[in-house]
Structure 1
């Protein structure tokens, strides 16, 4: 890659990083203001879990729909549409007066939030050299927790003075403001041929050439880990508040978790410059499982709890930030946005299940040590899924396959069907 190409790749990655930040803030903002909204709108824990779930259902649908559409019609147009939808519907959330209204608005806005990440992951991967692809996609996706950290810190400072609505006003405005740099700085790519676009529409094409087994193993790992993090990110502020922590400080629990995620993802991005990302992520999840179990024993201990939250962020959430990079490594260019979209959709499904189950368990007053012990077991299951994906990928001969060869094979195979 020459200097001009490297410059262009860096600029594209920076814009995608900013989009990822906005997406992270908009996706997780509800957890920052959950205690205030619960009180203001008289929403119980079970109903609050359903509001979280509605938003994540929207992101699942958005990931599945926008990924293939981005492969077919272009990454840039679909990213613009996703940002516009996210911005407008997030602004509308500030006007909600009930749990049902908020759930509907979060669902529709989630279509845009879910569609943004597959598009920016594919754009970043295709602007980078093959050697730097995994690390650059991980670095781009670090914007997601960074957006949550910055947004959470600002939210904690402003929401007690201006009300919970200010958080939605900020999120919607930021999303709409990103339209200008995306329009002007992201290059448009040519839409594939009719043969390729037919391939994008079929799940069978995504799983072709031996990718089915590693993809399903990866998706199981993604699902399990996102159930855990979906619960943690959504309900840690609420759990802290239940244990006597003021709402503004409780919101910082989600911030600490995401600061740890940034540190963990930075470490993993350095590791995967020299090797494939699958096995380091599996090892990270094993550490995350042990720390998640410990978290249930430290509720109410104060400083020790926040320190453990940070480490859970490093090992568990930090590992999850590699999923777009892993998917970009597993799926070739012709179906990359589709493959990333399906991977993120599976993850978002876990983010639906986690808050809903967590809300019900909290409503039934399940002991914290049992609640977090169950989360630790799920995290171990996630480690096994990622490890199996690595093993089966190598068994299918995909580890050494070049992107160009994979793309050619895909098109030829589709042409025979």
Structure 2
């Protein structure tokens, strides 16, 4: 093929300019590489920012008693403040994700980090109900848009066989942040006031945002899919594969996404095989979120009403969170190896455990450990569905796919406590509540099984098509 007419800037000819231009499949390069220090740094900084994402999201709940007393905020107003943050997260999940699919993952993640860091810090100066409502809403928008983009960026830099693994690792950061927000509040608020907790969280988040500004790369798949300047693509490629000696004269493709849509519309989430996949992802994520928020909201109260003391209830809830994260870590490699059918494992086990709690008489100590087991399995199942939310969408709409799924799931988080309140107020024996909760893992197991069947069928169809152009072939 004739040499392209593109020339590098400058009077002297570089080796890249003298070399024949190549057609480079960045998807193949990414999939053929082993996990290295570049991936470790990426996952580490992504996990770090999600620590403060989770910390900030849960912080308002732990500081609420202090704020209510000092600012004379009613219980109803406090509930509205909680809802403002959650509603903001619902809006941000699809608005910010859309921005990430337009201008890039890196600038959007960094922007969100700066915004929610600044707003967390400024919340310490709030002195009115209205101010808190506004700040929590805007803060929620930034927080809600952060996670789908973090998933997308990490998914797009690792081989297919590690995609669920990196999403799980990133979400471990969110769990850590959620877990430590309570102890940090107990440490700071009694001595320095509730404001100090927000000052601490905001400052730490802004420091982390500055680190992201210098360390976070842009997605290589995104750069190619959006036809960004070749010099920018070559620079990104050199960070993971310097031996390729990529240059601005080379041409780049994403070989495993040749039929991907170039621009996003909501209809893009239902094109082709996605018309079956997206509804099942949404339903599974929704029902899992409903279960997890029911457990976290009403779990300690249920334990107290079942004659366990408050310290035991709190300890059991904390232990379940830690064990749930461990269950998610245990599942991630199986999900990458055998596919989404692994996601059904924990829900299937959870069903008989919850039914046993609800209907089988047992000693108090056995009941406590069965509840801890059920809570652990519910959390592990949630990590499972999270790990595949953004995996199967093409690069050009991946952030939007994850964002819209998150928005749908947030509705489960909103109505979960409401449904719980209705059940607990219905007069039903408290212990039977657990058997009713078994509906959630049952639905999730069916969704995971359906997703596995759809993914398997799509892979067969893709294998029947001609293979994509290989790595660095001559054009």
**With structure 2 as the length reference, what TM-score do the two structures score?**
0.72
**Change over 3 Å in CA distance of 1:108–1:312 after alignment to 2:** farther
| Aligned twin of 2:144 | 114
Offset of residue 290 of structure 1: 4.4
Please tell me whether Structure 1 or Structure 2 has the larger radius of gyration of its CA atoms: 2
**Change over 3 Å in CA distance of 1:257–1:56 after alignment to 2:** farther
2:437 maps to 1:375: yes
Q: What per-residue deviation string (whole Å, max 9, x for no partner) do you get for residues 56-87 of structure 1?
A: 22111111111121111010111112112222
Offset of residue 136 of structure 1: 1.9
**Change over 3 Å in CA distance of 1:329–1:158 after alignment to 2:** same
| Aligned twin of 1:283 | 345
| Aligned twin of 2:42 | 12
| Aligned twin of 2:335 | 272
**Greater displacement, 189-198 / 59-68:** 189-198
**Greater displacement, 137-146 / 50-59:** 50-59
| Aligned twin of 1:330 | 392
CA distance in 2: counterparts of 1:292 and 1:28, whole angstroms: 27
Is 1:146–1:258's contact at 8 Å kept on the other side of the alignment? Answer: no
Counterpart of 1:204 (choices 267, 286, 292) is 267
2:109 maps to 1:79: yes
Is 1:58–1:106's contact at 8 Å kept on the other side of the alignment? Answer: yes
| Aligned twin of 1:412 | none
- SS of 1:258's partner is helix
- SS of 1:393's partner is helix
Is 1:69–1:78's contact at 8 Å kept on the other side of the alignment? Answer: yes
Count of residues in Structure 1 that have an aligned counterpart in Structure 2: 401
| Aligned twin of 1:358 | 420
CA distance in 1: counterparts of 2:123 and 2:302, whole angstroms: 24
Counterpart of 1:192 (choices 226, 250, 253) is 226
Offset of residue 362 of structure 1: 5.6
Following superposition of structure 1 onto structure 2, how do residues 134-153 of structure 1 map, counting pairs within 5 Å?
A: 134-153=164-183
Counterpart of 2:296 (choices 208, 212, 233) is 233
**Change over 3 Å in CA distance of 1:260–1:358 after alignment to 2:** same
**Change over 3 Å in CA distance of 1:292–1:48 after alignment to 2:** farther
Structure 2: gaps (5+ residues): 1-29, 229-257, 470-475
Offset of residue 285 of structure 1: 1.8
Is 1:60–1:114's contact at 8 Å kept on the other side of the alignment? Answer: yes
Is 1:32–1:251's contact at 8 Å kept on the other side of the alignment? Answer: no
Following superposition of structure 1 onto structure 2, how do residues 232-271 of structure 1 map, counting pairs within 5 Å?
A: 232-237=295-300, 245=309, 252=315, 254-271=317-334
Offset of residue 152 of structure 1: 3.1
Is 2:88–2:144's contact at 8 Å kept on the other side of the alignment? Answer: yes
Is 1:20–1:147's contact at 8 Å kept on the other side of the alignment? Answer: yes
CA distance in 2: counterparts of 1:352 and 1:187, whole angstroms: 34
User: Which structure features the higher share of helix residues?
Assistant: 1
Offset of residue 129 of structure 1: 1.7
CA distance in 2: counterparts of 1:250 and 1:48, whole angstroms: 24
Is 1:153–1:255's contact at 8 Å kept on the other side of the alignment? Answer: no
**Change over 3 Å in CA distance of 1:21–1:328 after alignment to 2:** same
Backbone CA RMSD of aligned residues: 3.8
**Change over 3 Å in CA distance of 1:12–1:63 after alignment to 2:** same
- SS of 2:338's partner is coil
Offset of residue 23 of structure 1: 1.4
Counterpart of 1:168 (choices 198, 204, 215) is 198
**Greater displacement, 157-166 / 339-348:** 157-166
**With structure 1 as the length reference, what TM-score do the two structures score?**
0.81
Offset of residue 405 of structure 1: 9.4
Q: What per-residue deviation string (whole Å, max 9, x for no partner) do you get for residues 110-169 of structure 1?
A: 101111111111111112122222212222222111222233333344445445444433
Offset of residue 99 of structure 1: 6.1
CA distance in 1: counterparts of 2:333 and 2:265, whole angstroms: 35
Following superposition of structure 1 onto structure 2, how do residues 48-67 of structure 1 map, counting pairs within 5 Å?
A: 49-67=79-97
**Change over 3 Å in CA distance of 1:169–1:345 after alignment to 2:** same
